Chains A and B, each alone.
Chain A
Amino acid sequence: MRRKGVNYSKYGYIFSLPFIFAFLVFSLYPILYTAAIGFTNLQGLIPKPIQVLDNPFQNFKDLIYHNVAFRTSLTNTAILWITNFIPQIGLALLLAAWFTNQRLKIRGQGAFKVMLYMPNIITASTIAVLFSTLFAYPMGPVNSLFEMMGWSDGPIFFLQDKTTARGIVSFIQFWMWYGNTMIILVAGVMGINPALFESAAIDGANGFQTFFRITLPSLRTILLYVLIVSMIGGLQMFDIPQLFIVPSGGPDNATLTTSVFIYGQAFKGSYLYNRAAAASMIMFLIAAILSAVLFYIMRDRDAARIKKEEKKLRKAAKAAARGA
């Protein structure tokens, strides 16, 4: 196949160079800086000589063992991510299936696709203001609606109740991002070999079968992407919890995510940069471990799946050839 024995592998390096260069310049230095701070006593607004702590891991120890709010924030982050990601991926998959289903031929799907992504265009602070107006207490649109429909006896203080407050934050995240996820999935479905769908149609598979047997397995790589990016995004959930409820993270720390916690460490008046940095590093470790686990599991199956698919494809081709 090679033409005159040219070795193309050097292009792999060349094509990756800009990325590496930009990363080294704009990210690595700041990251190392942060990592280093975590082991020091850097606190307070006015610069003092920075010293590495006697026990370099003191900040980490304090956070993990003595800081109730930090542990709460980890739990909250997990809860808020799971409760928004499951419906989000579910709805996005459903929509992607609808939009790419050749038999359904949904009219105006272009317009729908465009509109469903729109919540992502508006800034988080605008959305936060809008939703706190919607769920205002004791007077507000949602409360009026509930009263009109007879669903509640008196006004409900949505943002003071832990469950509803979390639910609303979760819903906003879900609502802001399902369109984004859907677009990625649709793009993924479009990359699936049409021959697979055709052969499925020939085999008389219905919509459900096609979706679960063909679409979903072929989407694995894209699903992995969505899963990991969303998980990392979820771990870093910041804007809505920060801006939506006063105090940020309230009520009673029910929506305090790790990012909000970290921000507070550095900004709520005490300038605990070292603790903020240490917490960032813990977050990094968690993200790395979770992603590594996810990636490992998914990739193994992925490889197996590709082999299977190839077999299937060959079979289908054979069958088609025979049929012809």
Chain B
Amino acid sequence: MKRYLTASTAILLLTSVLAACGGNNSSSGNSSPSPSPSPSPSNSNASPSASNTSKDKVTINLWAFTDEIPNMSEKYKATHPDANVEFKTTIIATTDGAYQPALDQALAAGGKDAPDIYAAEAAFVLKYTQGDASDYAANYADLGLTDQMVKDAGIAQYSVDIGSKDGQLKGLGYQATGGSFIYRRSLAKDTFGTDDPATIKNEIGPGWDKFFDAAAKLKAKGYGIVSGDGDIWHAIENSSDKGWLVDGKLHIDPKREAFLDLSKKLKDNGFHNDTQDWNEAWFADMSGTGKQPIFGFFGPAWLINYVMKDQVKDTNGDWAVTEPPTGFFWGGTWLLANKDVAKNDAKKEAVAEFIKWVTLDTSDTGLQNYWANGTMKDGEQGTKDSVASAVVMAKSNGTIDMLGGQNMFDVFVPANANASGKNLTQYDESINSLWRDQVREYTAGNKNRDKAIADFKQQVKDQLNIDSE
């Protein structure tokens, strides 16, 4: 009975071990894993032959965790009818942590079904670009995608930093997720006398001292500055000088440690509604229906377009974006290529062309142009989003109704530039959730500051085997 359930869930455990085992396999023999007969005989002889005349299509194994990139591959084929390429997509949701084990396994196993192009999300991209799995990734330079191209496209530096190991670029995104501060115009007028983004930017920042001055002013008018402490966490996390790990030991950056005090200050002064992100109360604050009206949210363009747009309800048009008190980014997807694709010229070329189209093509027929302007589907006005290339954004139109007609790209170009990608580790997801748990323990008054930090260190050691400094 219960065994069935737990049995099924625990299966996950094995799947990553198999990465290790899979490696052993391939070294011990020829066990290239062929998930039962693939129905495309056409690619069976895709070996590098000198004659490039064969009309056989190159099959690219594409691994992703949403249908976003597979949809792009459709668009790619539609806009490149002469591209001699076929995509075989595998989509495994990140839900319940299933994507990574499966991907790790497939990468370790290699062979003709190995992923040629794979996607990684901000929460775990470091593992694939710089961490344990980075050896599987091809250098963009080896695919013919040079640093000059990256420079010409004006790709946000944080995105390049995250995608690079020892100066070698291995992954790039199509989105840029540099963060902004998204605020209510009416509350701004009431409190600061203006809703002009340029002025508000200097009211709430730079730096947390000014931010809390603004919070006090807002509180005097009966407003909270943010919805919950999670809102400032993303900004704090990605603006710290160092990440969680320094020389293999747990390091608590002073700026991250300050989150304890800032969070407590928010709670004790009633500067927020004490919500948690992605909960009912958090969404309620987007339409101003929470306990007290909330001034603003920290977030990238996707927060505006994918989350807030449908939640703001009556406050539609009452919003504006400005630069946050400190630069940060939140989320994003990176594209990587398997280093083995370089072994086959035809495949290498096809993979490089697609990755270039997605991440570096700044022309009007490049993906990012469609993406920024919401024209992925013909004739249908899709969602506009901030993209990796500043060049594309500069020529795109980012005006949005929710923001009262403001062109959001004016803010997101500098926001992307101000974000830092140098303080990430592959453990961030786990360590962050432990840290925020202890911070909540502290702000809820369940334990004192020192105890919270000590317990945090102990938990990191117990669960991740990482000693603290």
Contacts and interface: CB of A to CB of B under 8 A. Distances in A.
Interface of A: 30, 37, 42-47, 50, 67-70, 124-125, 133, 136-140, 157, 160, 177, 180, 229-230, 232-234, 236-239, 242-243, 246-247, 250-253, 259, 261-273, 275-276
B10 A30 contact: no
Nearest to B462: A69
B260 to A, nearest CB: 15
6 contacts: A43-B465, A47-B22, A160-B441, A177-B1, A268-B430, A268-B464
B279 A239 contact: no
Contacts of A261: 463
B247 interface: no
A236 B1 CA distance: 12
A303 B320 CA distance: 78
A68 B12 contact: no
A283 to B, nearest CB: 11
A70 to B, nearest CB: 7
B275 interface: yes
B97 A133 contact: no
Interface string B456-469: 00110011111000
B82 interface: no
A238 B13 contact: no
B16 A139 contact: no
Question: Considering the complex of A and B, which 7 residue pairs feature the smallest CB-CB distances, nearest first?
Answer: A233-B2, A47-B23, A69-B462, A247-B433, A45-B132, A268-B430, A236-B6
A267 B2 contact: no
B455 interface: yes
B441 A137 contact: no
Contact of B2 (A70, A160, A177, A273): A177
B430 to A, nearest CB: 4
A247 B13 contact: no
Interface residues of B, number: 62
Contact of B429 (A50, A230, A238, A269): A269
Given A69-B463, A247-B437, A267 B12 contact: yes
Interface of B: 1-3, 5-6, 9-10, 12-14, 16-17, 19-24, 95-97, 101, 104, 108, 127, 131-133, 135, 273-276, 279-281, 284, 290-291, 426-427, 429-431, 433-434, 436-438, 440-441, 444, 446-447, 455, 458-459, 462-466
B9 A269 contact: no
In this complex, the member of B10, B12, B104, B131 whose beta carbon has the largest number of chain A beta carbons within 10 angstroms is: B10
Contacts of B436: 247
A268 B16 CA distance: 11
Contact of B437 (A136, A232, A250): A250
Contacts of B437: 247, 250-252
